[in-house]
Amino acid sequence: MSPWFALVARDLQLAWRQRGDLFLAVSFFLLVAALFPFALGPEPNLLLRIGPGVVWVAALLALLLSLERLFALEQEDGSLDLLLLSPLPAEALVLAKATAHWLTTGLPLVLAAPLVGLLYTLPPGGYLVLLASLLLGTPALSLFGATGAALCLGARRGGVLLPLLVLPLAVPVLIFGTAAVDATLAGLPARPHLLLLGALLLIALPVAAVAGGAGLRQAAE
Amino acid sequence: MTDTTTARSANLHRLANPGRFLRFADRIYPWCFGTMLLALTAGLVGALALSPADYQQGQSVRIMYVHVPAAWMALFVYLNLALASASLLIWRHPLAGVAAQASAPIGAAFTFLALATGSLWGKPMWGTWWVWDARLTSVLILFFLYLGYMALSNAFENEERGRRAGAVLALVGVVNLPIIKFSVDWWNTLHQPASVSRIGTPAIHSSMLWPLLVMALAFTLFYVVVLILRMRSELLAARLRALGRLAVEGR
């Protein structure tokens, strides 16, 4: 097994050993999504109108929760230094951690998203596009998040700092993700929005690798 | 050949010495400050008294003389911040980090000024303080990027680490600059497209154009003046800290 896959497998194994934590992000996601009807009232038309946006905002917030710990554990027990000394470049390290983060946090959120759609009376035609947009968008969010987490490593109050860095970068994903579902609901093609989401994912890959890798090296200096 | 290369690179790195930079800054500071005062006075008189009121917008058009230069400066300062960040990461230029860190609050202030004056202009003209149009939203994101840079670069015990982490973030944020510039062309927005930088003849009468350009010059010089002040105080503070450490070690 190549070192990259070994690293991803290790993170997945660690997550599986504490599988109770996997449900924390999903529970948070569902809870945030359930708050809006309480605050805005249960009128079906309104809920349908805000539904796609709520799914995306809740998913973004839930993804942020676990980001702070992405590299912090490795830094505390010193394994980060060993990983950086390994033949695996820091860039690949960031991509591996982001992949593991998406598999353990992003994918469960995507699977739970139809449930939220149900709460918001999403018509049957919207689910496929909602899932497609989340499948394209959440990996980009994990990548931007990993970049921020690498840069914040060792900072004072990293937990507050991290959202401040990541949220502005996440705005385009939010815009096109919501627009894709809204377009489908309005009877328009969702394809352009999904293509733009894919483009954002392709931009996020090198950005996370280069910027996140630089951040990790700085943290280890 | 080798001589000229060495001479040129020596010239490029001449200002990397903080002491030399401080002497250079002291020499140009009074000139920048004086020209800024002159340009600001001339620009304000031109903008508030001499230039005509707009036939549609009336007197509200005068907000533009602050709004447009502030918006230009918001982008220009971010560009500077990104260039300084790049030279910090690539050449480890010792003053680039200080320059970047000193630029950020100035740029954030210009961005805030552009948003606030735009909002004041929007109320009588568009009938609303704020619309979620592409230009306004992307400038708001620029403001948050400035805030993020400032928070990140001040969040570390080790100042150098903070500056370098911030530099990476500043470079990632550069993606936003073309989005702001072209947002009025790419999307059909409420915000009007550029009228000054149009190729050929600008779509703005010369009686309105000259106060605008003079104000832009004043704003740019204001940035230089404040940047020199902030960099000077930061360098002096660093020298004080070093002297303090020496005094402790000598005891």
**Residue at token pair 């903070």:** B162
Best CA proximity match to B129, nearest among B144, B141, B140:
B140
Report pLDDT for B55.
Answer: 72
Rounded distance between C-alpha atoms, residue A132 and residue A184, angstroms = 12
The beta-carbon neighbor of A171 closest among B141, B148, B164 is B141
The DSSP code for A9 is H
| Whole-Å CA distances, A64 to A158, B143, B176 | 12, 21, 22
Query: Would an 8 Å CB–CB cutoff place A169 in contact with chain B?
Result: yes
Using a CB-CB cut-off of 8 Å, the residues of chain B touching A158 are: 155
Binary contact (A168, B148; C-beta < 8 A): yes
- Interface residue B180 vs chain A (CB under 8 A): no
Domain ranges of chain B: 29-51+59-189+203-245
The whole-angstrom distance between residue B44's C-alpha and the CA centroid of its chain comes to 20
Q: Reply yes or no on whether the pLDDT at A109 is more than 90.
A: yes
Rounded-to-integer distance, Cα A8 and Cα A116, Å: 29
- Res. A100 pLDDT band, cuts 50 70 90: very high
What confidence score (pLDDT) does residue A95 get?
Answer: 94
User: What is the average per-residue pLDDT within A111-126?
Assistant: 88
Is the CB of residue A206 less than 8 Å from the CB of residue A199?
Answer: no
Instruction: List chain B pLDDT tens, one digit each, 251 residues.
Output: 445 555 555 555 666 778 888 888 889 999 999 999 999 999 999 888 888 777 777 788 888 889 999 999 999 999 999 999 999 999 888 889 999 999 999 999 999 999 999 998 888 888 888 888 888 888 999 999 999 999 999 888 888 888 999 999 999 988 888 888 777 777 766 777 776 655 555 667 777 888 889 999 999 999 999 999 999 999 998 889 888 888 888 76
- Specify the amino acid at residue B46: G
In angstroms, the separation between the Cα of residue A206 and the nearest Cα of chain B is 11
End-to-end CA distance of chain B: 51
The pLDDT of residue A191 is above 80: yes
Distance of CA A206 to the CA centre of its chain: 16
Question: How does pLDDT run across A55-70, given as a tens digit for each residue?
Answer: 999 999 999 888 888 8
Complex ipTM over 0.95: no
A212: part of which helix (H) or strand (E)? none
Give the C-alpha separation, B52 to B105, whole Å: 34
Cβ contacts from A onto B, under 8 A: 58
Q: Is B89 on the interface with A (CB under 8 A)?
A: yes
- The whole-angstrom separation of Cα B215 and Cα B41 is 9
Say yes or no for a CB contact (<8 Å) between A214 and B168.
yes
Residues of B in contact with A164 (CB under 8 A): 144, 147-148, 151
The reply to whether A205 touches chain B by the CB within 8 Å rule is no
